[in-house]
């Protein structure tokens, strides 16, 4: 019954607004007075409880301001998230790592979420972000996220001013040192998730 006074007040206000013309004792109401009281509730998208519950798909679609609070929204080319997708022997894996250290993983179509990421996730996630910042010059702008082909890896680097992608066959990654470091860190993060299960 805590909310009873609030409900009573709201009911009274709505009744006063709704009955305004009825209590005017048959006084003519000007035709231009067509105002009505409306209560509008703006629906906001549901936000996850923590970033380790945000899937790679959601991370790609959300704006930085929908992920981070006002004080920590990234600026310019600052990397705020990295998504790594790869397909190997018909197994599709995805992971997303955030600059704050959280990560979420999709192993062969199964979403792996931990109530709290193991400590090793935090250091690997932040390391992945740092390495992706160094490799950003190897990426091209991306407007959509598509599945990698067989034995292919796609690395999506999400920055404040846009999304970028680097894609290549797994066996070709060693030719680009910075991107290979990103892929190697992503692989370590994936291995840590399997150990934590």
Please write down the HEC assignment for all residues of 127-158: HHHHHHHHHHHHCEECCCCCCCCCCEEEEEEE
pLDDT digits (tens, 9 = 90+) for 87-101: 988 888 899 999 888
Residue 13, pLDDT score: 38
User: Would residue 182 count as lying in a domain?
Assistant: yes
User: Would residue 156 count as lying in a domain?
Assistant: yes
Cα separation of 105 and 113, whole Å? Answer: 7
83: its two tokens: 């998504």
Question: Nearest Cα to 67, choosing from 83, 50, 86?
Answer: 50
List CB contacts of 120: < 8 A, sequence separation 6 or more: 192, 196
Residue 19, pLDDT score: 40
Q: Are 99 and 80 in contact (CB under 8 A)?
A: yes
Q: How many domains does the chain have?
A: 1
pLDDT digits (tens, 9 = 90+) for 99-157: 888 888 888 777 776 655 667 778 899 999 999 999 999 999 999 999 999 999 999 99
72 vs 160, residue with greater confidence: 160
Residue 139, pLDDT score: 96
User: Would residue 79 count as lying in a domain?
Assistant: yes
Residue 107, pLDDT score: 82
133: its two tokens: 């910042």
User: Would residue 1 count as lying in a domain?
Assistant: no
Domain that holds residue 94: 51-196
Cα separation of 176 and 180, whole Å? Answer: 6
Distances (CA, A) of 91 to 149, 171, 195: 11, 16, 18
Residue 24, pLDDT score: 43
User: Would residue 27 count as lying in a domain?
Assistant: no
Q: Are 173 and 152 in contact (CB under 8 A)?
A: no
Cα separation of 48 and 24, whole Å? Answer: 50
Does the pLDDT at position 14 exceed 60? no
């Amino acid at each position: 019954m805590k909310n009873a006074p609030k409900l009573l007040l709201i009911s009274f206000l709505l009744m006063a607004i709704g009955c305004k013309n009825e209590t005017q004792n048959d006084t003519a109401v000007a035709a231009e007075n067509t105002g009505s009281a409306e209560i509008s509730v703006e629906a906001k998208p549901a936000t996850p409880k923590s970033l380790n519950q945000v899937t790679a798909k959601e991370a790609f679609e959300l704006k930085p301001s929908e992920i981070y609070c006002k004080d920590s929204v990234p600026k310019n080319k600052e990397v705020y998230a990295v998504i790594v997708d790869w397909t190997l022997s018909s197994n599709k894996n995805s992971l997303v790592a955030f600059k704050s250290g959280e990560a979420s993983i999709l192993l062969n179509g199964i979403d792996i979420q931990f109530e709290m990421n193991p400590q090793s996730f935090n250091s690997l996630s932040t390391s992945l972000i740092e390495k992706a910042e160094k490799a950003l010059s190897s990426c091209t702008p991306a407007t959509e996220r598509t599945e990698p082909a067989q034995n292919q890896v796609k690395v999506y680097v999400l920055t404040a001013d846009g999304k970028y992608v680097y894609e290549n066959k797994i066996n070709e990654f060693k030719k680009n040192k910075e991107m290979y470091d990103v892929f190697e860190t992503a692989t370590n993060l994936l291995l840590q998730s399997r150990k934590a299960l």
